[in-house]
Amino acid sequence: MADDKELFLRKSQQKTWEEWDAACEQKSPGFKKARETGDFEACFYQLCQNMNISLNLEPFVYFFDFDFYFCTSISNITPDYSKILSQGICSLYYEKDDCTNEFCKRYNAVLSCVELLIHRIIEELGKRASLLREEGASPEVLEHVEKQIHWFENMKTAGAETFEEALQRILFLNQLIWQTGSRLVGLGRLDMMLYPYYRRDVMERGIAEEQIVQAVHIFLHILHRDYWYKSSVLLGDTGQIIILGGVNQDGIYEVNDLTYQFLQAVKTCRLSDPKVVLRTSRGMPEELMRKAVECMATGIGSPLLSNDDVVIPTLLTFGVEKEDAYCYTTSACWEPLIGGKSSSMNNQCSLVYTEALYAMLMEEPLRRLNSYEAVKKSFFQYLRQEVIKCQRLLYFQKQQRNTLYSIFMEGCRESRKDITEGGAKYHNIGMTTVGLGNVVDALLNIERCVFQEKIYSMVDVKKICFYNYDGYPEAAGRLAVGKKYGKDEDDAAALANEIQRFVSSLTVDFRTAVGGKLKFGASSPAYIMAGATAEASFDGRKKGDPFIVHISNESVSSYTELLCFAAALDYAENRFNGNVVDLMVNPSFMELHLEKFTQLLLRGTEVGYFQLQTNVVSSDVLMEAKQSPEKFGSLIVRVWGFSAYFVELPESYQDLLIQRALQNEGKTA
């Protein structure tokens, strides 16, 4: 809990922990004790009974009470918003005869608290309406408050009736989950989920398209407003992902007016968050890809592209039912997730590939490493130990429940089990990996420099890594020149596949304490954090330097080369927990070659990248923004799986982005 507490205090920006704890206890006696004993239901009751309800004249009701801090660890998943869209809260209860165990009682108790909060909101809206009448407010203002009262009254007993009411319900559930301490809360496939309400409004009720567009813009701004509170490790890391588009079970790419409208709204609003994942396919409309590229060209880092033609087959092979695989969403960054049906927390530990290589160099008698094959064999033995460490951590991991999430997660009601007990339909777990590119380049450098060209001995390799290149001034440059990861060369992709298949062989039969399977991928947010504590590696990377960012190589001769490399990687079995091609693109290139870039991405989809994201920004702008942050408050960059305001990032992230942009442009600092 210590890390979460420090994070909360950093975000609250106003109190010490003791001051906050005292204020919370005064406001809600008993909350602290309930939190310390892990009694989620008692905490939730105190919240719904005592939280401040903040209303204004905005079109939607959305508020937080920052005095309440929950002790829960469920995060990085997407609730089933359809449950609150298609029916009233009252329909979700267990009947008395069906309430057969402790989970059912907790489930019903939380629903009662939701009803309590709805009732309090209705009362406050009623008071607001009375006050507005006394003040002589316009009929339009009064009508809107009355409409909000109807929305919340209707929420108890019936499904949503209009597009705006559907947005309000999504916002209400979203705010409740954030308020109960869960982080990185996804938003699901909004174009598909909301389309029936949109169609009914436009086709049957005659609502103007402009009103729908305006509602979407307001919806995005409201979700963005408290990003400082919602952020996880870095400001902007909120996990608020909107999924758009996608192939259906018949192989037809599904797209509708809302797909384009959400994409256009994200482009127009120019916010760092929420972010968009666009599911792509060789059968997608070319115009949709063009609109996606136009959105990328603004520099906001959205949308990330996720290739259905590669992703969906991996989900099916992993055991996801066909109906669910074709409706996949993603976790907070890019990890494929069955939204509303999966409690898979996909970023629970990180395997650092270079640690195995460094341990081998330090511990293995060098006389045994007398050939490249002997080096590889020994490396895999040490890699096995690193994987076992991760598995041990994942097996014994315990989560603190959030019963609210269980209500809005398919499988829990049916199984009568909390998501922390494996109640969801899918309850797998995800591991990220970092340094794959570095270890591939390091091993290939050992093959070339030690056993082929005989420039160095294995003793030299050990000294270079141990002494961080001291005494070998030429080595870093020589080794960096030999980088092959990300280039369209068979040996780099083949070695990357060999390494990942080995990890897959070790993890494919792993099961968590509740029976979940393990998946991993080649992308990780830890490329700076893990790199900061990692020893030097034999690819030119010095101690403390960042690892290669996802699947990238700024020195490749063309984007096509990197895409071909990504397509050559094997994402089968359980190797699909996020595999992102990360492109640095100069704005002038995008401006001059927008159509060419569109065709490149369409072709890349056919060739078979797994996922792809862009940073469209110049080194000149980044360096100026670092020097004069007051002038660049709205400059947005892509960080790992999220976008953020450049000036709010730690210096290490700013410096890496500048370095990558310079390298991409063929410049030096």
Task: Taking the CA atoms of 118, 124, 126 and 128 in sequence, report the sign of the dihedral they define.
Answer: negative
Give the pairing of strands 580-585 and 611-616. parallel
Give the pairing of strands 329-330 and 336-337. antiparallel
Query: Residue 383: is its pLDDT beyond 60?
Result: yes
| Tally: H helices and E strands in the chain | 28, 12
- How many other CB atoms sit within 10 Å of the CB of residue 396? 9
The string of pLDDT tens digits covering residues 585-617 is 999 999 999 999 999 999 999 999 999 999 999
Query: Residue 668: is its pLDDT beyond 90?
Result: no
As given in the structure block, the two tokens for residue 364 are 């293995």
Alpha-carbon distance 66 to 478, whole Å? 53
Give the pairing of strands 275-280 and 304-307. parallel
Query: Residue 222: is its pLDDT beyond 90?
Result: yes
Give the pLDDT band of residue 162 (cuts 50, 70, 90): very high
Alpha-carbon distance 239 to 13, whole Å? 21
Give the pLDDT band of residue 22 (cuts 50, 70, 90): confident
The string of pLDDT tens digits covering residues 463-503 is 999 999 999 999 999 998 889 999 988 899 999 999 999 99
The string of pLDDT tens digits covering residues 28-57 is 988 989 998 999 999 999 999 999 999 988
Query: Residue 669: is its pLDDT beyond 60?
Result: yes
Helical spans, DSSP H, in 297-435: 308-318, 322-325, 353-363, 372-395, 403-407, 412-415
Q: Are 434 and 547 in contact (CB under 8 A)?
A: yes
Q: For position 5, what pLDDT does the model report?
A: 56
The string of pLDDT tens digits covering residues 510-563 is 999 999 999 999 999 999 999 999 999 999 999 999 999 999 999 888 999 999
Q: Are 74 and 345 in contact (CB under 8 A)?
A: yes
76: left (phi over 0), alpha (psi -120 to 50) or beta: left
Q: For position 74, what pLDDT does the model report?
A: 92
Query: Residue 298: is its pLDDT beyond 60?
Result: yes
State the DSSP code for 434.
E
In percent, how much of the chain has pLDDT > 90?
90
Q: For position 442, what pLDDT does the model report?
A: 98
| Residue 489 burial (10 A CB sphere; 0-12, 13-18, 19+) | middle
Cα dist. 270→10, 58, 275, 300 in Å? Answer: 26, 20, 10, 7
Alpha-carbon distance 6 to 44, whole Å? 22
Alpha-carbon distance 518 to 431, whole Å? 7
Query: Residue 239: is its pLDDT beyond 50?
Result: yes
Alpha-carbon distance 160 to 630, whole Å? 44
Query: Residue 7: is its pLDDT beyond 60?
Result: no
Give the pairing of strands 275-280 and 241-244. parallel
- 199-206 average pLDDT score: 95
Q: For position 1, what pLDDT does the model report?
A: 34
Looking at every residue in the chain, the average pLDDT score rounds to 95
Alpha-carbon distance 165 to 145, whole Å? 13
State the DSSP code for 533.
G
Q: For position 289, what pLDDT does the model report?
A: 98
Give the pLDDT band of residue 12 (cuts 50, 70, 90): low
The string of pLDDT tens digits covering residues 262-272 is 999 999 999 99
Q: What is the pTM of this model?
A: 0.96
The string of pLDDT tens digits covering residues 571-586 is 999 999 999 999 999 9
Give the pLDDT band of residue 321 (cuts 50, 70, 90): very high
The string of pLDDT tens digits covering residues 613-635 is 999 999 999 999 999 999 999 99
Return the H-helix or E-strand segment holding 463.
helix 458-466
State the DSSP code for 368.
G
Q: Are 436 and 524 in contact (CB under 8 A)?
A: no
Alpha-carbon distance 625 to 647, whole Å? 7
What's CA 175's distance to the chain center, in Å? Answer: 18
State the DSSP code for 421.
G
Q: Are 79 and 185 in contact (CB under 8 A)?
A: yes
Alpha-carbon distance 607 to 282, whole Å? 9
Largest Cα span, the chain: 90
Give the pairing of strands 350-352 and 580-585. unpaired
Give the pLDDT band of residue 2 (cuts 50, 70, 90): very low
Q: Are 25 and 138 in contact (CB under 8 A)?
A: no
Reduced to 3 states (helix: H, G, I; strand: E, B; else coil), residue 79 is coil
Can you give the length of the chain in residues? Answer: 669
As given in the structure block, the two tokens for residue 323 are 């109906």
Task: Residue 508: name the closest of 318, 322, 315, 341 by CA.
Answer: 318
Query: Residue 9: is its pLDDT beyond 90?
Result: no
Query: What long-range pairs does 197-200 form, CB within 8 A, spacing at least 24?
Result: 197/85, 197/160, 197/161, 197/162, 197/163, 197/165, 197/166, 198/163, 198/256, 198/257, 198/258, 200/162, 200/163
Return the H-helix or E-strand segment holding 352.
strand 350-352
As given in the structure block, the two tokens for residue 316 are 């099916």
Q: For position 8, what pLDDT does the model report?
A: 56
